[in-house]
Amino acid sequence: MKRHRWILTLLALLCCALPAVAAVTVQSGLQPQVVRAGETAFYVLSVSGATGDVAVGEFPKVDGLTFASQSSSSQSNVSIMNGAVVRHVRLGYEVRADKEGTYDIPPVNVTVGDTSYWTNGVTLVVQPPDPLFQDATGFELDVPETLYVGQIAEAQLRLRVRDGLQWRRASELVREIAGVTVSELEDAKATTRAVVRGGNNYTEQVYPLTITAIEPGTHSLTYTFDVVVAAGRAYQQQKLTAKAQIKVLPFPPGTPAAFKGAIGQFSMSHTLSTDKTRVGEPVELQVEVSGEGNVGQLQPPLLGDSTVWRTYPPTEDFVPAGNGVTHGKKRFRYLLSPTRAGQLQTPQVRFSYFDPAVRQYKTLTQEGESVLVAAAAVAGAPTRLDTEPAGAAVDPKADPNRPHPIELVGADTGTYLVPAYRKPSFLWLNAAAGVLLLGVTGWRLRQRHLEANPQVRIRSVARRTAMRALRKAEAAARGEDPEAFHIEARTALRQAFAVRLPSRNPQTVTATDILREVPLPADDALVIRTVFRQEAPPPASLQAHSAVLHRIVTQMIRRP
């Protein structure tokens, strides 16, 4: 009997446990079951008493209905029933019909653990849309069709609600973005404006966005959120979706050396802090790039190579303008330190960017500025080249870095920078010296020659004396002075004779000596005799006598 009681107890426990294991129910329903076209209903799938995992099979395709993904209304509870862990799962799916009609949704397969179940079929009645809320809203995403990698562009998200309706958000904004980054929606930056569409007046809220292209390819952007639109006591929840496509292009080939990803339209200018400095004392070169594009992300322009400037990485700051993202200017401050003195040119500045409007690379170039660089200050020496007072005594050996002062007392001026040996005066001077030396030499040689040959000297003296006397006699003849003519004529004839016979004393020479030495015609001989007899010829014949005398004397002194 005891044994039978034990078996009965075991059977009773088993009977209680079996219902708990077998009580898995799967149900489906619609909330609400009647909607207007364009509105959303929830397809709710409930699984109770599941002890294993719940898997929902594929939804059947129903023409005219759109099933969305599992909504946020899905929930799952766990409880312990009769010592077993039991799950109650409620899954909600959005279902939307755009056209009026009656839609039968067939059963859906649900697997609980290893067991397969089917839900019940449900029917959704879609009524015509409420004319009150027809075209009540609009939601649009306005983006550029194409962008280049790295390009920043402006975009707009526009929410439009017909005037006279009230609205509020019914869900968070959900966005699906790939290949690009988009700035967050900021209510503070939204602007409101009135627009007219289809004859209706709307109030449109415009949210500015900034899109940065990241990856090449064609990408979709989707913004979704629910709004509740109300007019009086009537209201409707609407799901708003804004979609757009954007094509991101890679950069074309032929990238310039100075290109560092700048895209847009830019201009460049630069300023230099000073045009005078000293070796080792840097100057600040400020380069300003302004325009439209990815201004905030601009990399520093490229400085040209320079052996005379030491450059340092620049500091930079961004001054926004317009929307604060794609407009503005970026300033780069370079420190340039001269390594030597002189009139130096700062390095060239180059900035390359890609202009998407013309799809070309462009390079802006700014030539260097001229900077006067003085020598470096030397320890213990003045820091300026020109601080020496004029007239100060400076020992260049003591300090070669100090300049000597100017001279306050002048010196004589002249054409000193033309070499003297190129001047004509130098040639003339040398010619004169040469002539002088030659003259002295010639004169001395002549002297020596005369010293060595006395007869030559006597002849020379006699010749000169004879010629001198002849000229005087001729003058006397022209002056019709017979006495003077006779005196000079005799002297001339005697000296001329001495030229022929130097050994003879000229004072003792007679007419006979002459006529013996020089054969003369009778008329000429008569003239000689007349001269030596001291007979005064008539004045009229003086000229004829003078002519004869000239002929005789020149004949006698002629060199053999």
Partner 1 sequence: MTLPRILALLVFMLPGLLAAQPMSDPDFSAGNAAYTQALKASGNDAAALYGQAVEHYLRALQRGDSWVLHYNLGNALSGMGEFGPAALHYERALAINPTKAEIAANLALARRSAGLPGRRPAGWMEEWALNLPLRYWTLVAFVGGWIALGLIVLPPLFKGYSPLALGLASLGALAFVAALFGIAGWHQQSRWQIVLLPEAPLLAAPLDDSADIRRLPAATGVLPERHHERWTYVRTESGDYGWIESKQAEAVWREKDEG
Contacts to partner 1 by CB under 8 A:
276, 307-308, 340-345, 372-375, 385-390, 394, 396, 400-423, 426, 429-430, 433, 437, 440-441, 444-445, 448
CB 550 within 8 A of CB 558: no
| Distance in Å, CB of 304 to partner 1, minimum | 12
- Three-class SS state of 56: strand
CB 292 within 8 A of CB 326: yes
| DSSP secondary structure string for all residues of 237-261 | EEEEEEEEEEEEEPPPS---TTEEE
Which residue lies nearer to partner 1 by CB, 39 or 369? 369
Measured from the Cβ of residue 368, the count of other Cβ atoms closer than 10 Å reads: 19
Residue 319, phi-psi category: left (phi > 0), alpha (psi -120 to 50), beta (remainder): beta
Measuring CA to CA, how many Å separate 45 from each of 26, 61, 76, 118, 454?
A: 7, 17, 11, 11, 166
Which residue lies nearer to partner 1 by CB, 102 or 430? 430
Token reading at 37? 């076209």
Which residue lies nearer to partner 1 by CB, 106 or 342? 342
| Distance in Å, CB of 417 to partner 1, minimum | 5
| Distance in Å, CB of 185 to partner 1, minimum | 56
| Distance in Å, CB of 379 to partner 1, minimum | 16
Nearest in space to 372 (alpha carbons), one of 308, 302, 286, 305? 308
- How many angstroms separate the first and last alpha carbons of the chain? 203
| Distance in Å, CB of 269 to partner 1, minimum | 23
Query: Strands, E, within 4-53: which ranges?
Result: 25-31, 34-36, 40-50
Which residue lies nearer to partner 1 by CB, 192 or 415? 415
| Distance in Å, CB of 398 to partner 1, minimum | 11
Which residue lies nearer to partner 1 by CB, 83 or 414? 414
CB 326 within 8 A of CB 364: no
Which residue lies nearer to partner 1 by CB, 142 or 275? 275
Which residue lies nearer to partner 1 by CB, 18 or 427? 427
Three-point CA angle 27, 31, 37, nearest 5°: 130
213/294 Cα distance (integer angstroms): 11
| Distance in Å, CB of 332 to partner 1, minimum | 24
388/293 Cα distance (integer angstroms): 55
| Distance in Å, CB of 285 to partner 1, minimum | 17
Which residue lies nearer to partner 1 by CB, 170 or 385? 385
Measured from the Cβ of residue 459, the count of other Cβ atoms closer than 10 Å reads: 19
Measured from the Cβ of residue 493, the count of other Cβ atoms closer than 10 Å reads: 29
Which residue lies nearer to partner 1 by CB, 189 or 402? 402
Nearest in space to 190 (alpha carbons), one of 154, 159, 225? 159
Which residue lies nearer to partner 1 by CB, 418 or 540? 418
547/530 Cα distance (integer angstroms): 14
Query: Strands, E, within 32-151: which ranges?
Result: 34-36, 40-50, 54-56, 65-70, 75-81, 84-97, 101-105, 109-112, 115-118, 122-127, 137-142, 146-148
Q: Burial of 469 by CB count in 10 Å (0-12 exposed, 13-18 middle, 19+ buried)?
A: buried
Which residue lies nearer to partner 1 by CB, 55 or 394? 394
| Distance in Å, CB of 392 to partner 1, minimum | 10
| Distance in Å, CB of 147 to partner 1, minimum | 40
| Distance in Å, CB of 310 to partner 1, minimum | 14
Question: CA-based diameter of the chain, in Å?
Answer: 227
